[in-house]
Amino acid sequence: MQKEKIKIICLIGQLGNGGSEKQLYLFLKYLDLDKFEPTVIVSSKTEGVWKKRIRDDIACRIISLGTTAIPLLKIITFKYLLYKIRPALVLSWSFHTNAFHILDFGSHKFIGSLRDQLSPAISEISYFHSRQSMSPDYFIVNSKLLEKELAAYGIPLSKISLIHNIFEPNTDFGSNAILSQRKSDIRKQHGISEDEILVAGTGRDSANKDFSFFVKVFAEASASNSKLKAILIGSGGLGVKDEISSSGLSGKFIITGEIPYAKDMLPCADIFFLSSKYEGMPNVLFEAIDAGCAILSMNVGGVKDILGDDNPHLKETVAGLRDVKEVSSMLSILAEDRELRTRISEYNRNFRLDNFTQAKIMPKYYQLFEKVLF
């Protein structure tokens, strides 16, 4: 007789094109579907690539609570779904959907999440909403920084599980020879010469990504190095187009606008610069390392979780201060030293990415589920 599967509701705010949605996709992709039966409930109706991938690749049921601005209707719908599905476990994937815990009345095991830094997450919602989003009995965080933030808020460490993001290698990249060929091909498509040093940034158009800081740092560094060029992949570049033009840098920037899979463009770059003001655990850093880029990053979120505290190149790659001159100096050093870039790239690619494969991460989810359920 086949054992009944454990029903899980995965609750998320939206299914757009973001990194959090990608991580939900990877979680569901590698979840043991012989043991678990997941249902995704989305509190809004945002459409994006990850909704399609979850629906088509995994054949997972997705239910939207709708586009209504009336909270009561969503509450009623959610309560009905709890009654109908009767899950053993509710896993809130978004910080603000943690608040649905108050509707559960202890009937189901409920695990909340924090996947971005706490202060900006709280600032985006009301005081009441934020208080309820901190109410679950258990939390998943994806970086040590977020673990510390929840502990400082008063959540016991025994109730917090640090489960890093999953890294899935890009099978198209393969060996160094393949990466080198892809780099050459993409550069030819965009008119980038072999001797130019290309700095990449990627992300949506949001204040958090701070592409304005990217532009300022690049402007300072490129003033003394004529070979520096930049590419902004995604909608974020469109938000600083005027700033780039007014700085006289239009000839040094390529702006792609929104594209389906930004990671496929990354092999063209020599350096990837993460200019964000805050992050959870940035998936794009995995992708940039996998693409063979040397890394330059602000010290935000889980950057040091990814690179490792014992990384011999932390001083060259992680900026201590959000200071244009300091960071531009670091960029200049990387731009001028090809051998350093190669050492950074090879160390991160060979010694860091294996720590975040699904084989390492998924058992941590199962351990938490067993702790909560049994």
pLDDT of residue 46: 74
Better pLDDT: 3 or 246? 246
Same-domain pairing of 109 and 120 = yes
- What percent of the chain lies above the pLDDT cut of 70? 97
- Report whether 132 contacts 101 (CB < 8 A): yes
- DSSP 3-state of 240: coil
Same-domain pairing of 209 and 124 = no
pLDDT of residue 3: 79
pLDDT of residue 72: 79
Same-domain pairing of 18 and 38 = yes
Would you say residue 357 has pLDDT above 60?
Answer: yes
Would you say residue 256 has pLDDT above 60?
Answer: yes
One-character DSSP codes across 100-159: GGGGTTTSSEEEEEE-S-HHHHHHTS-HHHHHHHT--SEEEESSHHHHHHHHHHT--GGG
Same-domain pairing of 88 and 215 = no
Averaged pLDDT, 281-287: 95
Q: Would residue 219 count as lying in a domain?
A: yes
C-alpha distances in angstroms, 340 versus 101, 303, 313?
49, 19, 9
- DSSP 3-state of 248: coil
Q: Would residue 248 count as lying in a domain?
A: yes
User: How much is the mean pLDDT over the chain?
Assistant: 93
Same-domain pairing of 42 and 158 = yes
Domain hosting residue 246, numbered range: 176-355
Same-domain pairing of 89 and 208 = no
**Eight-class DSSP state of 168:** -
Residue 107 confidence class, pLDDT cut points 50, 70, 90: low
The pLDDT tens digits of the residues spanning 111-122 come to 999 999 999 899
Q: Which helix (H) or strand (E) holds 63?
A: strand 61-64
Residue 104 confidence class, pLDDT cut points 50, 70, 90: low
pLDDT of residue 225: 96
Would you say residue 17 has pLDDT above 60?
Answer: yes
Q: Would residue 310 count as lying in a domain?
A: yes
Same-domain pairing of 117 and 240 = no
Which candidate, 325, 324, 344, places its Cα nearest to that of 334? 344
Q: Would residue 1 count as lying in a domain?
A: no
Same-domain pairing of 195 and 344 = yes
The pLDDT tens digits of the residues spanning 129-179 come to 999 999 998 999 999 999 999 999 999 999 999 999 999 998 878 788 888
Q: Would residue 211 count as lying in a domain?
A: yes
Same-domain pairing of 114 and 203 = no
Residue with tokens 């510390």: 148
The pLDDT tens digits of the residues spanning 257-268 come to 988 778 889 999
Residue 105 confidence class, pLDDT cut points 50, 70, 90: low
Residue 366 confidence class, pLDDT cut points 50, 70, 90: very high
Q: Would residue 171 count as lying in a domain?
A: no
pLDDT of residue 335: 98
Which candidate, 27, 12, 19, 3, places its Cα nearest to that of 368? 27
Per residue, the 3-state secondary structure of 269-293, as one string, reads: CCEEEECCCCCCCCHHHHHHHHCCC
The pLDDT tens digits of the residues spanning 40-76 come to 999 987 778 899 999 999 999 999 997 666 677 888 8
Total domains in the chain come to 2
Same-domain pairing of 49 and 70 = yes
Which candidate, 25, 18, 12, 16, places its Cα nearest to that of 262? 18
* CATH number, position 367: 3.40.50.2000
Same-domain pairing of 153 and 227 = no
Same-domain pairing of 144 and 78 = yes
Residue 188 confidence class, pLDDT cut points 50, 70, 90: very high
Q: Would residue 118 count as lying in a domain?
A: yes
Would you say residue 106 has pLDDT above 60?
Answer: no
